[in-house]
């Protein structure tokens, strides 16, 4: 039997049929919302990682092996994400990129940490995610304390004195709302309304009416783009012209589709620079390559931030010549400095947070375009 097995292996090699050894690969996981309310984010994350892996394999792969992206759908739901993480943790992945929502990421952190799998989140900005002392957790997106500071600066710059804050009770939205509330109160800005809506509903006129009764100069909404689009549309239907400012989770082209261009016009939101505004040569080259393959540039910065997660873990594997999680974590924490990422230079501190200021302010124009503000 042993001679037969050896003979079969030899025949496979002669015929060009891949054996187990020849098929050996470096597996990098992707966890994103491929379905559900944030499906456009997850689908674009997959496109970005598939393209980057294809490029890497065309050049050299990693450690002389093919790079394989192993994807799981978290559905934008913490319970679904925990099951997805458990599946990924059994598939021999070196690292996982994702995910988008903070509460979804939080449901997976301990699973990956206990499995000693590097996790690099791309859209999860909640402060507490990096306050747990998790050795293997990193993120390419910034944190909500930075976002809170930029929100307060924007509100003050625009001259608003009375602010309504609306969140959705998710880890991200509640955390950002609390951060902004505390900072605004320190600056002497009056908070006239502070409450939460229930995500996934179709009619928000009741809470809009309640906010209107508080007579704010501006509404700061810290939830996600599906609800933001509905709020903008329904407040216009109510003939309530109060300006809205959104957190970075409102940054998605679907916001305009949901709200309509007329209702979305004038909406401000905070975000890392959009793909079209990325200045680096690496970004411009990648965007051109993405457009060539898929017919359009990526619409979401969070997909590009996922790409940066893939690129930094690939660089770390090449640098340490290993897929050992402790060596990779040490390299990312202590040795990777000013890596030329698609979204700017990347370094991580001892908590796994990205170093440096990232947030910008955007405004929706009459045509539904997102315009970077000076």
CATH number of the CATH domain containing 306: 3.40.50.2300
State the pLDDT confidence band at 357, using cuts at 50, 70 and 90: confident
The answer to whether the beta carbons of residues 222 and 248 sit under 8 Å apart is no
User: pTM of the prediction?
Assistant: 0.87
**Among 271, 287, 311, which residue terminates a domain?**
271
* 150 and 207 inside one domain: yes
Give exposure, 203-220, as e/b (b: 16+ Cβ within 10 Å): ebeebbeebbeeebbbbb
pLDDT digits (tens, 9 = 90+) for 183-232: 999 999 999 999 999 999 999 999 999 999 999 999 999 999 999 999 99
- The verdict on 127 and 213 lying in the same domain is no
Asked if residue 7 has pLDDT above 70, the reply is no
Report the range of poorest mean pLDDT among 5-9, 121-125, 146-150, 332-336: 5-9
Among 22, 306, 297, 274, which Cα is nearest to 139's? 306
Per DSSP bridges, beta strands 268-271 and 360-364 are antiparallel
Number of domains in the chain: 2
- Identify whether 219 is part of a domain: yes
Instruction: Decide if 337 is inside a domain.
Output: yes
Range of the structural domain that residue 261 is part of: 145-271
Residue 301 lies in a domain: yes
Residue from 277, 273, 263, 284 nearest 366 by CA:
263
The answer to whether residues 88 and 113 belong to one domain is yes
The per-residue pLDDT of the chain, averaged, comes to 93
Tally of CB atoms within 10 A around 147: 27
Per-residue model confidence as pLDDT tens digits over 67-109: 999 999 999 999 999 999 999 999 999 999 999 999 999 999 9
Verify that 49 and 85 share a domain, yes or no: yes
Residue 182: in which H helix or E strand, if any? helix 171-186
**pLDDT given at position 13:** 38
User: Do 246 and 314 fall within a single domain?
Assistant: no
- The answer on 158 and 131 residing in a single domain is no
Are residue 133 and residue 153 in the same domain, yes or no?
no
Q: Are residues 213 and 154 in the same domain?
A: yes
Q: Report the share of the chain in percent with pLDDT over 90.
A: 91
Residue 16 pLDDT exceeds 60: no
Bond before 74 cis per omega within 30 degrees: no
From 230, 246, 271, the end of a domain falls on 271
Domain end call among 271, 292, 327? 271
User: Within a domain: residue 42?
Assistant: yes
User: Is the CB of residue 150 less than 8 Å from the CB of residue 134?
Assistant: no
Mean per-residue pLDDT for 295-324? 97
User: In the prediction, which pLDDT does 163 show?
Assistant: 98
pLDDT at 279: 86
Mark whether 214 and 120 lie in a shared domain: no
- Do residues 116 and 135 share a domain? yes
Per-residue pLDDT band at 362 (split at 50, 70, 90): very high
Q: Is residue 214 part of a domain?
A: yes
Are 311 and 163 found together in one domain? no
Whether 365 is covered by a domain: the verdict is no
Are residues 259 and 197 both part of a single domain? yes
- Residue 348 sits at the vertex; the CA angle it makes with 282 and 309, to the nearest 5 degrees, is 45
């Amino acid at each position: 039997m042993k001679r037969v097995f050896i003979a079969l292996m030899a025949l496979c090699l002669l015929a060009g049929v891949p054996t187990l050894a020849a098929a050996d690969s470096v597996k990098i996981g992707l966890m994103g919302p491929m379905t559900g309310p944030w499906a456009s984010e997850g689908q674009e994350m997959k496109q970005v990682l598939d393209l980057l892996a294809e490029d890497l394999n065309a050049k050299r792969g990693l450690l002389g092996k093919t790079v394989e992206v192993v994807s799981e759908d978290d559905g934008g739901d913490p319970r679904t994400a925990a099951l997805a993480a458990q599946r990924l943790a059994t598939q021999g992945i070196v690292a996982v990129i994702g995910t988008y929502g903070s509460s979804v990421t939080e449901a997976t952190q301990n699973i990956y940490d206990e499995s000693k799998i590097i996790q690099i989140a791309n859209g999860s900005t909640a402060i507490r995610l990096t306050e747990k002392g998790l050795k293997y957790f990193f993120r390419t997106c910034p944190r909500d304390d930075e976002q809170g500071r930029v929100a307060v600066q924007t509100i003050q710059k625009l001259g608003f004195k009375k602010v309504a804050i609306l969140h959705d009770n998710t880890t991200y939205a509640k955390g950002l709302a609390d951060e902004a509330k505390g900072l605004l109160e320190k600056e002497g800005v009056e908070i006239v309304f502070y409450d939460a809506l229930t995500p996934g509903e179709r009619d928000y006129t009741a809470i809009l009416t309640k906010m209107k009764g508080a007579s704010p100069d501006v509404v700061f909404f810290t939830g996600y783009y599906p609800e933001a689009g509905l709020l903008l549309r329904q407040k216009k239907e109510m003939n309530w012209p109060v300006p809205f400012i959104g957190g970075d989770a409102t940054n998605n082209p679907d916001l305009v589709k949901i709200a309509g261009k007329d209702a979305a016009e004038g909406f401000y939101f905070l975000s890392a620079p959009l793909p079209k505004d990325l200045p680096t040569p690496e970004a411009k080259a990648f965007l051109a390559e993405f457009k060539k393959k898929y017919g359009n540039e990526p619409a979401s910065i969070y997909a590009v931030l996922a790409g940066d997660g893939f690129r930094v873990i690939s660089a770390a594997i090449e640098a340490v010549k290993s897929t050992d999680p402790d060596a990779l974590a040490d390299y990312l924490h202590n040795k990777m400095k000013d890596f030329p990422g698609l979204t700017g230079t990347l370094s991580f501190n001892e908590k796994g947070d990205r170093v440096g200021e990232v947030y910008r302010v955007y405004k929706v124009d009459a045509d539904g375009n997102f315009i970077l503000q000076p």
